[in-house]
Structure 1
Amino acid sequence: MRVVALGGLGEIGRNMTVFEFGGKLVIVDCGVLFPEEHQPGIDVILPDFTSIRDRLDDVVALVLTHGHEDHIGGVPYLLRERRDIPVVGSKLTLAFVKAKMKEHNINPRLVQVKEGTSKGFGPFNLEFFAVNHSIPDGLAVAIKTSAGTVLHTGDFKMDQFPMDARITDLAGFARLGVEGVDLFLTDSTNAEVPGFTISEEDLAPAIDTVFRTSQRKIVVSSFASHVHRIQQVMDAAHRHGRKVAFVGRSMVRNMGIARELGYLNVPRGILIDFKAAQKMPDKKVVLICTGSQGEPMAALARIANHDHEIEVGDGDTVLLASSLIPGNESAIYRLINDLTRLGANVVHKGNAKVHVSGHASAGELAYCYNVVKPRNVMPVHGEYRHLIANGDIAIKTGVNPDQVIIGEDGVAVDLQNGKAVISGKVQAGYVFVDGQTVGGATEESLEDRRRLAEEGLITILAIVDPDTAKLAEDPEFFVRGFVHEPDDFTPAVQAVERALGSLPRNHSVEQVESLIESTVERWMQRTYRRKPLITAIVVDA
C-alpha cells in the first residue's frame, strides 16, 4: 500500500492523504489552507491534485474525518474534476458538505457512515471509530488491505466529559492494536503541549462570568462550525435572560443545519433574527458571528472598522471563543486592539479560560501509542516542529526510531511486509484560489503584489526611434505608491540612454521594454535601495 500526503505535513491546514492499493485510490480529507499576510488577494489555498488528476477514475472513495474547512474546504474543487466520487462521512460532516456543494452547483454522491461500522470500497475495507474534537461527529478511519492496516486518527482529543457525551473510542483503538496496526497516522497539532487537553466543560465558569458581568450587548465570535462552543454560549444566554441572534451567512447556515439534525439544542424562544435583535435593549442581546481569526471580510473585522450594522462601544463585551491559528497572530491582535479602542471589553484565550483546543496534547498521544502499539508511525496535521515532537513521543513509547517517518507535503510512503519506508515524492505545491480563478495566481504574481504593496509602482513611457534605438525625447515616469517625484528620476534617463546603445541592430519592442525595466530597476536599487514594480511602455517614434 502506498500513502501519499498532498497536504497537512508542515502546515496547519490543507489536509489530504491518498492511499493506493490494487490500482485503486482512497482519499482521506480534502481541505484548504487559509492565506497569510504575505499572500495578498488569495482566498484559500488548495492541495495540488496533479499527481492524481489522470487517475481520478481510480478513486473509490473520498473519506472525510470531520466538518472543518481545513478538511472539507477543498472538496468542491476536487468534485469539479470528477463529480461522482463517493463522499464518505458522518451525518453532520456530510450535511456541511452538501450545503457547501449547493454554492458550487454540484450534487455530490454522499455515503453516510457512523462509528462502529465498516464498509468496503474496492480493495479497501474501511472501519470507523468515534473521536472527540471541537466539532461533533468526528471519525477516525482504519484502512485495511491485504498489505496491512493503517489507522488515521483525523483531528482528535480525549475529552472524558465532552458536551455530547461521545468520547474517543479508545477501546476500538485497543482492539485494533491487538489485531495489528502497521501504520499509525496521528494528529500532531498539540504534540508540544505537555499533559492532557482540558475538558470543554471547564470553560463554562469563564463564559458564565462574561454574561454575569456584562452590562450591555455581548458579541461572540467563533468558527461557524464550532457547535459545542455555540451551545455553551446559548446555554449561558438562556440562564441570564438574553436572546441570541446569528450574524453572517456561514454561521446562520451551519447552526441551522446543526439544529435541524439535533446537534445544537436551542432553548425555546431564545433564538431571534438579527433585525429583531437590533430593536432590543443591549443588555438583553447576544450576537454570534464569525471573524475570530481577524479575517478582513468577516463580520467582526467589519464591526471593528465601522463597516457593519453592529456597533460596538463603551460597556460592550466581545468574546473571542476560538483558538489562534498559526499565521493569524498579527491580524487577531490588531482586531483586539481596534475593538478595545472602541471601548469594548475584549475577552479572549489570553485573558480568560474561554477556549480549549480540539487536539490531543502530548499525554494523550503517548496514551494512544501505548494502546495501539503501531509498527510504524507517520505524524500528520502539524507544522514541522509538531511532527518532530509527535515522533519523539512515539519513540519514547517504544516505537523503533527507524520506523517513525517524518515527511513533508508530497512524500510517498510504501507499506510492505509490515515496514513503511519513504519511496519518493510527488508534486504537492500550493494551488491558489483567487476569486473565481483556481491555480492562476503563482508565487511570481504574489511577489508582484507584495512589491506593489511595499514598494509602489513606476510606469515608464518611452518614445524610441526603431532604427537607432535612441530616445526621441526624455521618457515620462508615472509614479504610484512611491515617495519620490518624477523629476527625481532625471539621472535614470542617462542610464537608459547608455543601455539602449548596447542593443543589437535587429531588436524588438519587447527587448527595448525589458532593457528599460531592468536598467531602471538597477538604478533604483543603487540610488534609493528600493525595488518598486517597474513597467515600461515603448512607443515607436
Structure 2
Amino acid sequence: MRPLENIIIQFMENDKIRGSRQSQEKESSALDRFITQIMQDGSDKELVLASKQPPKKQNHSRKPKNKSPRLRVIPLGGLEEVGKNSMVFEYGDDIIAIDMGFQFPEEDMFGIDYIIPDITYLEERQRRIRGIIITHGHLDHIGGLAYVLPRLGFPPVYGTKLTLGLIKKQLSEHGILKQSDLREIKSSDCLKLGHFQAKFFRVNHSIPDCVGVHLTSPVGSIVHTGDFKFDETPADDVPAETDKMRAIGNKTGFDRVDVLFSDSTNALKPGRTVSEKIIGESLDKVISETEGRIIIASFSSLIGRIQQILNSAQKHDRVVALSGRSMENNVDIARDLGYLKVPRGLIRPIKEVSKLAPNKVLIITTGSQGEAMSALTRMSIGDHKNVKIQKGDTVVLSAHPIIGNERAVAAVINNLCKLGANIVNNDIMDIHTSGHGKQDDLEQMLRLIRPKNLAPIHGNLYMRTAHSKLGKKVGLGDQNLFLFEGNGNVMEID
C-alpha cells in the first residue's frame, strides 16, 4: 500500500468563473462567447445563467439596476462527469458549499489517482465560507475534503452521524482530523449560516443517513436533492421524508422554491428504481441454493446490502470474511455507530476461513468495478494472499459496472471463469439496484417540491437533458428549465 503522501492529485481546472483572477486572462474565442438565458416566472425574481466569460459591465437584468446582492450558484463539479460533486452558493459576504467529492480518473489518465474540483474561487474567498454541507458519505461527495480543507482554512463541515464517521476516517488517514471542524446534523435541524438558512429532509440512497437541503436566502430559496431515490422498503434506513418535501412544495409566493437542483444520474432510465428489499431476497436465494464457497463483490458503502448478506449468511450457517481495505473500514465504522448489527462470531479473519469447508464460507469483497489493485481483481489473477479461486466457487457481482469500467469488469469475469468460478450477475437475476432514482422517482421529486425552475445536476449533459424533459412533463416551460453548460457556470437569482 502506498503512503498517502505519495498519492497524486490532479486539480482539474474548471471553466473560468467570473470574479476569479483567471477571468482576467485572455481566453480562446470559444470561451469569449457569452451566452445568457433569462428566465422569469411572473414573480419579482429573475434568474440569470451566465457562461464562462461574461463581458465586463454588461447588465442583463430587466429591472433597474439594484445594488442588493444576488444569490449566486456556482457548480464546481458534477456537471461534466459522474463524480467530484460540489456546488457553491453565495449571497453577499456569505458562501456555503454543498458536497466536496472526488472522481476516479479515466483509463488514459496515467499517474492520476483522483480528480477533485477546482477550488480557486473558494481559496480567494475563504474567509467568507460559512460551512460545507455534506449530503451523504460517498466518495464522490466527501472524497475531496482531505485535499480541500487545508487550502480553505478548515471551515466547518456539516453532516449526519454516519457521514461524519466516514469523513473522520478519511481525515484521520491524512493526519488532519484534529484541525478539522466537524459538526453533526440531523434531518430535523435548522442551521443559520450567515444570511443563509439550511433545513434538511431525509432521502433514500444506497447508503444510510442521506439528506437533501432546503436553502433559503433574503432573495430566494433552492432545494438540492443530493443523490436520491424513493424506496418504501429500504434495507438499512427508513423511507424518505416525503411529508417534509410536500410541505416545501406547498409554499407559495416569495417562499416557493425558485430552483430545484436534482440528481440526474439515472434520468435516461424509465420506471422506478428497484427496492433494496428485492435485492436482499435475490441474494438470499443465491446463498441458500449454492453448495460451494460464495464470494460477493459489491461497493463497500452499501451498508444495507452488507447487512442483508450478513443476515442470510447467518441464516444459512455460513461464516463471513471481509476482503478489501475499504470494506473492512466501512463495516467497522457502520458497526461502531450502530448502522450494522453483526452477531458475535459471524465475521472471521480471512486467514481463518480458508481452513473451513467451502460450503460454510461467504466472503464479501471489494473490486466489483474491476479496479486494478482491488481484492477481486487480485483473486482473478491468482495474486490474493488468502483467497485462491477454485472450481466450484460462486462469484456474485452485486453491482453494475460504472460507465467506463465495463472492459475492466469483463476482464475480471473472464479470468474468474478461467479459474473455474461460476458467475452470477444482474443479467441473471436482480442482485443489484441503483441508489439513484429513475424517471418515475425524478418526476415524484418534481411533483413534491413544485419548483418554479429546474436545474438538473449530477451527470453529463445528455443525462441532464433527459431530466429536463421530465420538467416539461410536470408543467414547467422551456424558460423554466436550466441546463448549465458545465462546471464553473454561474446562475444568479435576483
TM surpasses 0.5:
yes
> For residue 267 of structure 2, what is the aligned residue in structure 1?
191
Would you say 1:384 and 2:465 are equivalent positions? no
Query: Could you tell me which amino acid in structure 2 is paired with residue 58 of structure 1?
Result: R
In the alignment, the residues of structure 2 paired with residue 175 and residue 413 of structure 1 have an alpha-carbon distance, to the nearest angstrom, of: 26
In the alignment, the residues of structure 2 paired with residue 63 and residue 69 of structure 1 have an alpha-carbon distance, to the nearest angstrom, of: 14
Would you say 1:411 and 2:481 are equivalent positions? no
Query: Could you tell me which amino acid in structure 2 is paired with residue 320 of structure 1?
Result: L
Instruction: Please state how far the C-alpha of 1:327 moved relative to its aligned partner.
Output: 1.1
> For residue 111 of structure 2, what is the aligned residue in structure 1?
41
RMSD: 1.2
Would you say 1:284 and 2:360 are equivalent positions? yes
Residues 71-90 of structure 1: pairs in structure 2 closer than 5 A: 71-90=141-160
Query: Could you tell me which amino acid in structure 1 is paired with residue 89 of structure 2?
Result: F
CA distances 1:346-381 after superposition (whole Å, capped 9, x unpaired): 111222210011111111111221221101111001
Instruction: Please state how far the C-alpha of 1:83 moved relative to its aligned partner.
Output: 4.3
Q: Paired residue for 1:116, among 183, 188, 200? A: 188
Retained in 1: the 8 A contact 2:129–2:155? yes
> For residue 23 of structure 1, what is the aligned residue in structure 2?
93
> For residue 157 of structure 1, what is the aligned residue in structure 2?
229
In the alignment, the residues of structure 1 paired with residue 74 and residue 292 of structure 2 have an alpha-carbon distance, to the nearest angstrom, of: 52
In the alignment, the residues of structure 2 paired with residue 390 and residue 162 of structure 1 have an alpha-carbon distance, to the nearest angstrom, of: 24
TM-score, normalised to structure 2's length?
A: 0.82
Instruction: Please state how far the C-alpha of 1:165 moved relative to its aligned partner.
Output: 4.5
TM-score, normalised to structure 1's length?
A: 0.75
Query: Could you tell me which amino acid in structure 1 is paired with residue 246 of structure 2?
Result: A
> For residue 480 of structure 1, what is the aligned residue in structure 2?
none
Retained in 2: the 8 A contact 1:214–1:316? no
> For residue 458 of structure 1, what is the aligned residue in structure 2?
none
In the alignment, the residues of structure 2 paired with residue 158 and residue 272 of structure 1 have an alpha-carbon distance, to the nearest angstrom, of: 35
Instruction: Please state how far the C-alpha of 1:278 moved relative to its aligned partner.
Output: 2.1
In the alignment, the residues of structure 1 paired with residue 382 and residue 345 of structure 2 have an alpha-carbon distance, to the nearest angstrom, of: 30
Query: Could you tell me which amino acid in structure 2 is paired with residue 183 of structure 1?
Result: V
Q: Secondary structure, in 3 states, of the residue corresponding to 1:268?
A: coil
Q: Paired residue for 2:446, among 348, 369, 376? A: 369
> For residue 433 of structure 2, what is the aligned residue in structure 1?
356
> For residue 342 of structure 1, what is the aligned residue in structure 2?
419
> For residue 314 of structure 1, what is the aligned residue in structure 2?
391
> For residue 171 of structure 1, what is the aligned residue in structure 2?
243
In the alignment, the residues of structure 2 paired with residue 140 and residue 376 of structure 1 have an alpha-carbon distance, to the nearest angstrom, of: 17
Retained in 1: the 8 A contact 2:207–2:303? yes
Q: Secondary structure, in 3 states, of the residue corresponding to 1:84?
A: coil
Retained in 1: the 8 A contact 2:204–2:237? no
Instruction: Please state how far the C-alpha of 1:201 moved relative to its aligned partner.
Output: 0.6
5+ residue gaps, structure 1: 417-541
Retained in 2: the 8 A contact 1:190–1:359? yes
Instruction: Please state how far the C-alpha of 1:204 moved relative to its aligned partner.
Output: 2.5
> For residue 130 of structure 1, what is the aligned residue in structure 2?
202
In the alignment, the residues of structure 1 paired with residue 111 and residue 408 of structure 2 have an alpha-carbon distance, to the nearest angstrom, of: 15
> For residue 24 of structure 2, what is the aligned residue in structure 1?
none
Q: Secondary structure, in 3 states, of the residue corresponding to 1:81?
A: helix
> For residue 59 of structure 1, what is the aligned residue in structure 2?
129
Q: Structure with the greater relative contact order (CA < 8 A, sep ≥ 6): 1 or 2?
A: 2
In the alignment, the residues of structure 2 paired with residue 343 and residue 42 of structure 1 have an alpha-carbon distance, to the nearest angstrom, of: 34
What number of residue pairs does the alignment pair up? Answer: 416
Query: Could you tell me which amino acid in structure 2 is paired with residue 96 of structure 1?
Result: L
Identity of matched residues, %: 40
> For residue 245 of structure 1, what is the aligned residue in structure 2?
321
Instruction: Please state how far the C-alpha of 1:156 moved relative to its aligned partner.
Output: 0.4
> For residue 220 of structure 2, what is the aligned residue in structure 1?
148
Larger radius of gyration: 1
Task: Name the CA shift for 1:127/1:78 in 2 (closer, same or farther; >3 Å).
Answer: same
Q: Paired residue for 1:261, among 337, 357, 375? A: 337
In the alignment, the residues of structure 2 paired with residue 278 and residue 105 of structure 1 have an alpha-carbon distance, to the nearest angstrom, of: 35
In the alignment, the residues of structure 2 paired with residue 385 and residue 116 of structure 1 have an alpha-carbon distance, to the nearest angstrom, of: 35
> For residue 375 of structure 2, what is the aligned residue in structure 1?
299
5+ residue gaps, structure 2: 1-70
